[in-house]
Structure 1
Amino acid sequence: MQIRLREIHLPMRHPFTIALGTTTVQHNLLVELEQDGVIGYGEAAPGLAYTEFTVESMVKALEAVRPQIEAATLTTPPELWEKMLPSLGHNRFALCALDLAAHDLWGKLQGAPVWKLWGLDISKVPDSDYTIGIDAIETMVAKMKEFDGWPIYKIKLGTSDDLAIVRALRRHTDAIFRIDANTSWTPEQTIAYAPELKELGVEFIEQPLLRDNWEGMRRVRAECVLPVIADESCLTEEDVERCAGCFHGINIKLTKAGGLTAGRRMIDAARKHGLQVMVGCMSESSVGISAIAQLLPLLDYVDMDGAVLIAQDIAAGVRLEKGKPIFPNENGNGVQLLPGAFA
């Protein structure tokens, strides 16, 4: 195989604010793997909560194993993942970009979509939400109206007016709401807010507490009237078992986990522990989003609106029509770079 690495710059459609900060331009890593004249694409997206994982650190990690990658012939992505784990386990973001590219390449070489090679059926899959970042209340309402008609909205919270935000948004839609506090609440706040949030049509609360506050999460799980879903508390397969007594479900981010191979392992582990499963996205292009889509038949919930949140995509692939995933007639993850994407 040959490997090529490229930093991509993705301006956001609007400044995207969560409890941890604001992003106006997302800087991601694009990995291209080529074998027998066929190219697979993968992506990884650094996040505000994981400042040690930058494009530069991912490139450094992958360059260190370039000789191993280029000496290998792709047979199956899990085989490559296992081979690279000892060298890339310290940087799951880099491992993710490589693994997504390997899956896309594998499917293209096999002449079928990845979901089909896994024996899955995409005739019935969950709809995605659309995420509304923190802003002035009137701006958050305007952002929701810009994408009117979606069945589900994910609302980022972590302000002094969190309940007022949800009340205001509810006046403009009958859609399902999901709340993501990004570790900004206390156990007391979470338990106190939940009854009104439930009345306001909220489906669940994602990661209300700091990622290591396990005692607090056990209390929240026992006393909160809404389900709670782990995000920052569940990064890799090793975290799943610990989440079982503290959350009702987990939100898997492929970038943090180490790719599709790791994501499937986490799904299996979650099911063994009776946890619901969601896969979420970072701010990323259709390269990363299309990889997430391969898992859709295995999921209870999905948040794959990353390519909608950016101003201009670099690729075509699985897309969303008001939250409904639309699969292209393409092999692999369904990814094709757009002409002039890097002009």
Structure 2
Amino acid sequence: MELILREYELKLKHTFTISRESIDVQPSLIVELQRDGFSGCGEATSNPYYKTTVPVMMQDLEKIRTIIENTTEETPEAFWAKIHPYLKDDMFALCALDMAYNDLYARKKGKKLYELWNYSIDKNPLTDYTIGIASIEKMVAKMKELPWPIYKIKLGTKEDIAIVTELRKHTDAIFRIDANCGWSVDETINNAVTLKKLGVEFLEQPLKADNWVGHKEVFKHSVLPIIADESCIIEEDVAKCNNHFHGVNVKLVKCGGLTPGRRMIQEAKKLGLKTMVGCMTESTVGISAIAHLLPQLDYVDMDGALLLAEDIATGVTIDFGKINYSDLNGTGVTLM
């Protein structure tokens, strides 16, 4: 098996701002695995919050190139278990590798990933579209630029209620709020009352990740469901989130790929937590991998490729929130 690493700079349509940073370009790593005439691709993007960069991911994968390339016909689960000890400190690199291996494995089996997993796509949820923090006028303009059934609105400013109040005047769409750790306990509980009246479905990660006492307080008193993001990184975190959140947002780059992501979703379901998968402004490579998890999800945020000025691959397409799969097997991705 041959390992190929490609580095990209994904340019965004608009400056993307959340409570802790703004970006115009998203560095991304594409991992490709080739064997027996088949090819599989995976992706992971850099992220300052998680202290990960593309050069570091590439270095970490190069260190174990021989182990990767000597892999034969192992299942994705066995491959992940073998590689995890070497990349336990770089889950982003492990994610890109795991995606690529799952893609390759399914293509060799002649199936799409959701078919290999025996998932039915009949009741897939719609994806939201993210409106990053900007002036109220710019946020309204972004929303009007792409009419959508569900908007995820980034907050964490002093004008949060005013922002949502104004956005509500321009659409009947469902709103989801992501404060990216930018609120206090009292702000969250109080804001939830107003935001519920404004048609907000849930709040995502309002408090800092390690504020478990605060999470518990919000969980008890918020009139809106609370979904964990920064507080739910790896598999062990799902159980910690129980009775502190109403659901979990599984990010594949944070947990190490599709293989552990599927386990996290199943654990969340057993605990009665709502399930969600989110993206990190990936190209269609990463977004197409997420698409195959849809049958197991209550919510999904997989709009990353829609935020790009220019994509680097073809795969799933999205029409007014609905995901359409590629005709190709695996994740259905083809690099341009």
State whether residues 228 and 248 of structure 1, in contact with CA within 8 Å, keep that contact through their aligned partners in structure 2. Answer: yes
Counterpart residue number, 2:234? 236
Give the distance between the partners of 1:208 and 1:118, measured in 2 at CA. 34
SS in 2 for 1:49: helix
Q: In 2, are the aligned partners of 1:65 and 1:87 still within 8 Å (CA)?
A: yes
Deviations 1:31-65 (A, max 9, x none): 00001021100000122421x21101111111111
State how far apart, in whole Å, the 1-side matches of 2:269 and 2:52 are. Answer: 29
Matches within 5 A, 1:302-321: 302-321=300-319
**Residue deviations 1:170-228 (CA, integer Å, cap 9, x gap):** 00000000000000000010001111100000000000000000000000000010000
Equivalent residue for 1:251? 249
> Following superposition of structure 1 onto structure 2, how do residues 17-96 of structure 1 map, counting pairs within 5 Å?
17-50=17-50, 52-96=51-95
- For 1:155 and 1:95, the matched residues in 2 are separated by 29
Cross-structure match for 1:275 = 273
Whole-angstrom CA distance in 2 between matches of 1:64 and 1:48:
23
Quote how far apart the aligned CAs of 1:332 are: 0.2
Letter of the 1:34 partner, please give it. Answer: Q
Q: Is the 8 A contact 1:31 1:98 kept in 2?
A: yes
Note the 1:1-343 alignment, pairs <5 A: 1-50=1-50, 52-148=51-147, 150-338=148-336
SS in 2 for 1:191: helix
User: For residues 111-142 of structure 1, what are the alpha-carbon distances to aligned partners after superposition, in whole Å with 9 as ceiling and x for unaligned?
Assistant: 11000010011122000000000000000000
CA contact (8 A) 1:16 1:23 kept: yes
Name the residue aligned to 1:341.
none
In structure 2, C-alpha distance between the alignment counterparts of 1:170 and 1:333, rounded to whole Å: 36
Unaligned segments of structure 2, at least 5 residues: none
Structure 2 distance, partners of 1:319, 1:16, is 22
For 1:122, the aligned partner's letter is I
Deviation at 1:75, TM superposition (A): 2.9
Residue-pair matches, total: 336
Q: C-alpha distance in 1, partners of 2:300/2:187?
A: 26
> How much does 1:284 deviate?
0.7
Task: Provide, for residues 138-167 of structure 1, a one-character-per-residue CA deviation record: whole Å limited to 9, x for no partner.
Answer: 00000000111x110000001110000000
Say what the alpha-carbon RMSD is for the aligned residues: 0.7
What is the TM-score of this pair, normalised by structure 1?
Answer: 0.97
Bigger Cα displacement from structure 2, 211-220 vs 115-124: 115-124
Provide TM-score, normalisation by structure 2.
0.99
Q: Work out the CA distance in 2 between the residues paired with 1:125 and 1:168.
A: 30
The CA distance in 1 between the partners of 2:113 and 2:73, in whole Å, is: 15
Q: Distance in 2 between matches of 1:202 and 1:186?
A: 18
1:228-273 CA deviation, whole Å, 9 max, x = no partner? 0000000010111110010000000001110000100101111121
Using the alignment, how far apart are the partners of 1:303 and 1:297 within structure 2?
14
Q: List structure 1 segments (4+ residues) > 2 angstroms apart after TM superposition.
A: none
Identical amino acids, percent of aligned pairs: 56
Instruction: Tell me the distance in 2 between the aligned counterparts of 1:75 and 1:321.
Output: 36
CA distance in 2, matches of 1:122, 1:271: 18
> Which amino acid is the alignment partner of residue 67 of structure 1?
T
The one-letter code matched in structure 1 to 2:34 is E
Distance 1:41 1:31 in 2: 6
In structure 2, what residue type is equivalent to 1:312? Answer: E
